[in-house]
Chains A and B, each alone.
Chain A
């Protein structure tokens, strides 16, 4: 057995060092664990300041002992390479481990073990954790707002039909593929609008009329985002082309439009649509609040979409324009057949980010009195029967939005990979 140097762990005494390392590491974790969850300080005999840092010191000593290069044990080498390359790294790693130990058990307790889900009233919530009963009772309101319970199948049916119609483009036979854009840009918006108008709004075909003020919850979030997405894309495209146009009037009016909307916050735009816009209409005309809000969001997001598309247009080499022109193509054929297909492919991530921002902006419509998910939460938490559950509500809404946004961003990432063509 060679000499043992504690400062330089070596392979010869690997068992000794491993044992010491694991011992110290466990000691550090144990010290921290007891401190936090049982309020027992096993190093209490030390002065306060040192005693506070003992877990970290123990952990670092432990990690120092197991930092043996080329130990021959595959797992250990991997561990060292990944979290334990130097003392500084070890300290950071250990801090993160402590943080996880500190935060995960209480979170799990709150979410699952101490939570209540059975029952229908506030009194059913006896545990110290989350009261999911609240979400359960209010679930319909959170999803459909004030939409009458008996009529909610209409909302569901509309969403299912629209989703099916959207998916239909995927199954188009090859010879109809050229009409795909037409289908998505013109046909689908019109059909969806008619569906929403006749099915969700009702009033005809024996369906009860439901005013837009009663719409709400997550379904309203979807309706607003869907229409904004559909309309802001073509407008944004026109603006982007306008901004790159050679004609000064077209160019500068597009530029002013884009810079104006990009310079103001959405909340003021919504204020404008709510209080200022009615002043600009002839006396007696009334435009529904929902339509005004969607128009405001469309104008706002179209400016951002335009900038993203412009980035794609600028990224194309000049040769593409020259080649298309030399074939005798005019402005529109050049753009529709050569430039835009390539430019749009380039800007998929940017467009996806804009759409993501749009979805995340929809809760803002509460400022004009439309109650989507976040607005319904605000309403629910002031209900005298259910005071004091705002945490559960916001956590629930956060999870829902997170799932939507995260899956959108992952989907856009996949699209980006799919359409990536090397030049």
Chain B
């Protein structure tokens, strides 16, 4: 009986040790013959390559560690934008999918079936190489919404120029903390005394009013710098001022959003459909209004079904953002596992760092979502 338990475990362990041992020995031997030493010292060396699009200050004289940071931030940027947009789109499409209106219902399901069945990479290629290439050159672009220009070289929008931005930021954080405490207070009041506050309106009020006050009292000032056409050479034009959003980012965001939204829409639909009809009827029969039924009875239960698979989709989106390498958007994979590896030749270290980074991002998103999921889960008595 004992043997039956120990033998399989021993064999598994032996197998793992043998494989790892084999790989390590070979790696050591190979690195010796090529004269490479294992280590992360190269991160401090000068990177000496340029990155097209960076959120922080960067040029070729900075270190590889800095280049890694630039790539990581770009990955996080596209993931964050994608997650926000695909949640909005996914919820809208998912609700539309349940609409009694035949046209809306059909349109939503055609959208879902269309976009989820085409490989994401093809969609990215399509937006980047086919659709965005059809845009006008900078000198021919027409004004969009009175402020922006959509050109083949990207989207040029006005850039905010802040005075005393830190005051504004602090006021934002303060208002968020206030909202958090107010919501806790309101929840307790509701549970203890059954008093309901208009939570959403008051929260919105706090969020708008406190930062707005800083404009009057805190010396905060906001101006816009608008993009203006500038001639570089006879046939070469560009825009100065404002923010230039590169077409790679636009194509990537578009594709990721449109693709992931289809899955989120299906989750939302399944979640709402998963709530029994009896729940709605019971809620209505004790005199709740339709709004209250949705807010107090349907949504808390539906969210419980929706959140776990949606978390998975957020994770997928973050991992899929690595496809950026295919269209040369300087994300973590392109900058670090691509250019930096070509230059240093340190395959093992760089691939390990890249994988560890993605693992960390994945684990932290799933930890956060697990915590959130637990906090909204219905506590059974």
Residues of A within 8 A of B (CB): 82-83, 85, 89, 92-93, 96-97, 247-250, 253, 260, 262-268, 271-272, 275-276, 279-283, 356, 359-364, 366-367, 374, 377-378, 381, 390-391, 394-395, 397-398, 401-402, 405-406, 409
| Closest Cβ–Cβ distance, residue A310 to chain B (whole Å) | 14
Q: Contact: B102 with A405, CB < 8 Å?
A: no
6 contacts between A and B (CB under 8 A): A82-B101, A275-B347, A360-B118, A390-B129, A395-B130, A402-B117
Residue of A with least CB distance to B338: A271
Q: How many Å from the CB of A369 to the closest CB on chain B?
A: 13
Minimum distance in angstroms from A411 CB to a CB of chain B:
13
CA distance A356 to B323 in the complex (A): 18
Contact of A363 (CB < 8 Å), options: B5, B29, B121: B121
The answer, among B100, B131, B341, for a CB contact under 8 Å with A85, is: B100
- Total count of chain B residues near the partner, CB < 8 A: 56
Determine the main DSSP class of B at the interface with A: helix
A residues within 8 A CB of B114? 402
Residues on A with C-beta less than 8 A from B12 are: 249-250, 253
* Inter-subunit contact B113/A268 (CB<8 Å): no
Are the C-beta atoms of A272 and B133 separated by less than 8 Å? no
Q: Which residues of B contact A93 (CB under 8 A)?
A: 101, 103-104
Cα distance, A86 to B27, chains bound together (Å): 70
What are the residues of chain A within 8 A of B134 when measuring CB–CB?
A: 391
Q: A363 to B333, alpha carbons, bound, how many Å? A: 17
A94 to B322, CA, bound (A): 40
B31 within 8 A of A: yes
Q: Is the CB of A272 within 8 A of B118?
A: no
- Confirm or deny: B194 has a beta carbon within 8 angstroms of a beta carbon on chain A: no
Name the distance in Å between A47's Cβ and chain B's nearest Cβ.
18
- Which A residues lie within 8 Å of B118 (CB)? 360, 398, 401-402, 405
Task: Tell me how far the C-beta of A296 lies from the nearest C-beta in chain B, rounded to whole angstroms.
Answer: 12
Q: A250-B9, A271-B337 are in contact. Are A265 and B347 (CB under 8 A)?
A: no
- In the complex, the chain B residue whose C-beta lies closest to that of A246 is B5
B33 at the interface (CB under 8 A from A): yes
Q: Are A279 and B8 in contact (CB under 8 A)?
A: no
Q: Do B323 and A276 touch across chains, with their CB atoms under 8 A apart?
A: no
* Most B Cβ at <10 Å: residue of A264, A377, A405, A406: A264
**Are the CB atoms of B8 and A265 closer together than 8 Å?**
no
Cα-based distance from A366 to B101 in the complex (angstroms) = 43
CB distance from B29 to the nearest CB of A (A): 7
Which residues of chain B from 187 to 213 have any CB-CB distance to chain A below 8 Å in the complex? none
B131, B333, B348: which contacts A276 (Cβ < 8 A)?
B348
**B100 CB contacts on chain A under 8 angstroms:** 82, 85
Determine if B13 and A265 form an interchain contact, defined as CB atoms under 8 angstroms apart: no
With A263-B363, A264-B358, A265-B319 as contacts: A271 and B351 at CB distance below 8 Å:
yes
A272 to B349, CA, bound (A): 11
- Pair A363/B348 contact, Cβ less than 8 Å: no
Taking the nearest CB of chain A, how far is it from the CB of B70, in angstroms?
18
Number of residue pairs spanning A and B whose beta carbons lie under 8 angstroms apart: 148
Return the CB mask of B313-351 against A: 1 if under 8 Å, else 0: 000000110110110000001000100010000011001
CB <8 Å contact, A394 and B30: no
- The answer on a CB contact under 8 Å between B126 and A394 is yes
Query: Which residues of chain A come closer than 8 Å to B337, judged between CB atoms?
Result: 268, 271
Known A-B contacts A248-B9, A268-B337; A401 and B348 likewise in contact (beta carbons under 8 Å):
no
Residues of chain B contacted by A276 (CB below 8 angstroms): 347-348, 351
B107 at the interface (CB under 8 A from A): yes
Whether the pair A401, B359 counts as a contact (CB closer than 8 A) is: no
Query: Is there contact, CB below 8 Å, between B102 and A267?
Result: no
Q: Are A283 and B348 in contact (CB under 8 A)?
A: no
Residues of B with C-beta under 8 A to A248? 9
Partner of B351, one of A249, A250, A275: A275
Which of B26, B104, B319 contacts A96 (CB under 8 A)? B104
Q: Does B23 lie at the interface of the complex (its beta carbon under 8 Å from any beta carbon of A)?
A: yes
Q: CA–CA, A138 to B322, complex, Å?
A: 30
Q: Check A283–B29 contact: CB distance below 8 A.
A: yes
| A374-B119 contact given A253-B12, A265-B320, A268-B351, CB 8 Å threshold | yes
Q: Is B373 an interface residue, CB under 8 A from the partner?
A: no
Supply 17 further A-B pairs (C-beta < 8 A) apart from A268-B333, A282-B29: A82-B101, A93-B103, A96-B103, A248-B9, A263-B358, A264-B358, A267-B323, A267-B333, A271-B337, A272-B351, A279-B26, A280-B26, A282-B26, A367-B325, A367-B326, A377-B125, A390-B133
Distance (Å) between the CB of B259 and the closest chain A CB?
9
Q: Is B88 interfacial (CB 8 A cutoff)? A: no
* Residues of B85-140 contacting chain A, CB below 8 A: 99-104, 107, 113-114, 116-123, 125-126, 129-131, 133-134
- Is B354 positioned at the interface, with any CB of A under 8 Å from its CB? yes
Q: Which residue of A lies closest to B360 (CB)?
A: A263
Q: Given the complex of chains A and B, what is the CA–CA distance between A188 and B354 in angstroms?
A: 37
Distance of A268 from chain B, by nearest CB (Å): 5
Given A96-B103, A280-B23, A394-B125; A405-B362 close (CB under 8 Å): no
How many Å lie between the Cα of A272 and that of B337 in the bound state? 10
- Mark contacts of B365-378 with chain A using CB atoms, 8 A cut-off: 1 yes-contact digit, 0 otherwise: 00000000000000
Give CA–CA (A97, B102) in the complex, Å. Answer: 12
Kindly provide the distance from the CB of B245 to the nearest chain A CB, expressed in whole angstroms: 22
For A97, the closest partner residue in chain B by CB is: B103
Q: A82-B102, A93-B103 are in contact. Are A247 and B8 (CB under 8 A)?
A: yes
Closest B residue to A242 using CB positions:
B12
Is the beta-carbon distance between B122 and A363 smaller than 8 angstroms?
A: yes
B101: A residues at CB distance < 8 A: 82-83, 85, 89, 92-93
